[in-house]
Amino acid sequence: MDFMEMLAIAPSEGPWPDLSLDQTSLMIYTSGTTGHPKGAMLTYRNAIYKAAAGSISNGLTLEDISLAAMPLSHIAGLLVGLNIVIYQGMTVVLLHRFDPDVAIQAIEKYGCTWWYSVAPMNRAILDRLGKDTPRLTSLKHNLCTSFGIPLTEDMAQQWNELTNGCVIHEASYGLTETHTGDTFMPRDAIRWGTVGKPVNGTEIHIVDPETKEECPPNSAGEITVRSPGVFNGYWQAPEVTAITVRDGYVLTGDVGKLDQDGYLYFLGRYKEMIKVSGYSVFPEDVESLLIRHPNIAQVAVIGIPHPHHGEVVKAYVVTKPGETISSEEIINWAKDRMAHYKYPREVEVLKALPATSTGKILRRILKERHKASFG
C-alpha cells in the first residue's frame, strides 16, 4: 500500500501508549568487533541526557552548522549527527555517505563550523587538497576518532594549518551500552594520548578486573562507567546484562587508566589482549608503531596460537597507493623498533581490512580468516 493512503484511512484517535523517559526508545546493536552483536536497549532518558551533555561540553550554540557524514545507524553518528543537533536547534548538513570531494563542497558551500569524523576522512581531504591553503575555513571544531588510522598530533597540525585554525582532537570515549559520549576533550587543554575527561553527570572508575577494587591514578585496569546514559540491558539476554552491569556501573571490558587530572587513557580491550610468553600486548599498541612505516596505510593486529610462546602477534596491513612491501621487510623493520615480545611474527598484506560502516576494524573477522587458513 502507498504510505499516504495508509495515513488517510488510519483512525485519527488512539489508542496511544503511555510513555516514560525510562522506557526503551531504540535498540542499537553493538559493533561485534570481538563477538556477535547484541541489541542494547536505550531509553529516552539516555538519549536526552547524552544530547545535553554532548552539546554543553562541546560548547555548541544555535549558530553552529554541523556536517554529519557518519552513519546515523551507528550510536556515535546518531548522537552527534542528529540528537545533539535537534537538542541544540542547530543546522545540520547530512551526507548519505562520505566522499572527500562532496564533504569539501558541503563545508564550503554551507559554512559548516562543526564536524565529527574518523581519521581516514581527514586524511583523504588532506591528501586531496595538499598544500592548497587556506580551505574549509568555516570549520572551528572537529571531533575525530582513530578508526583505521590514528589521529596523530602531526595530522592535527596539518589539519589546523589547512583550515586556518580549526581545533581537531580525539573524540570522546564511549560505547553503545552508555549511549556513547562518556568523555569530552577540553579545547583549551587538549592532552594527546587521552580521550578527555568525563562529561558532567558521568562517573568513570578504573578497577582491578579480579578484585573490583579501585585502582590508583595512572594504574591500568578495567574501565567502568555509571551515568544517566546507562542502557536498559541487552534484548532477550538477561544473563549477559547481569554480567555487564553491576551496581549501576557498566563493566566495559576495556582497559584504561585515569591520570591525576582525570583524563582517561584508553589502552585496549581485555578480550583482544595478546599473551606472548607471559607478557600482555594490546593490539592498539603494536598498531600505533607499525602505522609509522612509510609504506603502510592501515594496520590491524591479532594474536595467533604458538606452541612455545602461547600466542604471538600477527599483523594485517594495507599499503599506501603505489607502494609495495614484503611481509619479511615489515617484520625486520618492526623487530628493530619494538620489544621482542611485541613485534609481529607473521604479516599478511591485504587490499582492505574488514571494518564496520564507521571504519572500526573487525578483528573478529581477521581471527576467523586466520583460523580458516591455518586451523
Which domain, by its residues, includes 301? 273-374
Please tell me whether residues 278 and 193 are part of one structural domain: no
Last residue of a domain, one of 201, 226, 255: 201
**Number of domains comprising the chain:** 2
The closest alpha carbon to 187, from 201, 178, 197, 179, belongs to: 197
Identify whether the C-beta of residue 188 lies closer than 8 Å to the C-beta of residue 57: no
CA atoms within 13 A of residue 163's CA, in its CB half-sphere = 27
d(CA 370, CA 375): 7
The closest alpha carbon to 123, from 149, 93, 97, 161, belongs to: 149
Residue 236 lies in a domain: no
Residue 33: predicted pLDDT: 56
Residue scoring higher pLDDT (278 or 84): 84
Residue 32 lies in a domain: yes
Last residue of a domain, one of 179, 201, 223: 201
Please tell me whether residues 35 and 152 are part of one structural domain: yes
pLDDT, tens digit, for every residue of 33-70?
556 789 999 999 999 999 999 999 999 999 999 999 99
Residue 35: predicted pLDDT: 63
Please tell me whether residues 28 and 109 are part of one structural domain: yes
d(CA 353, CA 350): 7
pTM of the model: 0.84
Q: Looking at the predicted structure, is the pLDDT value of residue 11 above 90?
A: no
Please tell me whether residues 50 and 164 are part of one structural domain: yes
Q: CATH number of the domain at 52, please.
A: 3.40.50.12780
Residue scoring higher pLDDT (67 or 364): 67
Please tell me whether residues 193 and 309 are part of one structural domain: no
Residue 32: predicted pLDDT: 61
Q: Looking at the predicted structure, is the pLDDT value of residue 134 above 70?
A: yes
Q: Looking at the predicted structure, is the pLDDT value of residue 15 above 80?
A: no
Strand partners, 265: 257
Please tell me whether residues 78 and 193 are part of one structural domain: yes
Q: Which cell numbers in the block locate residue 361?
A: 576494524
Residue 45: predicted pLDDT: 97
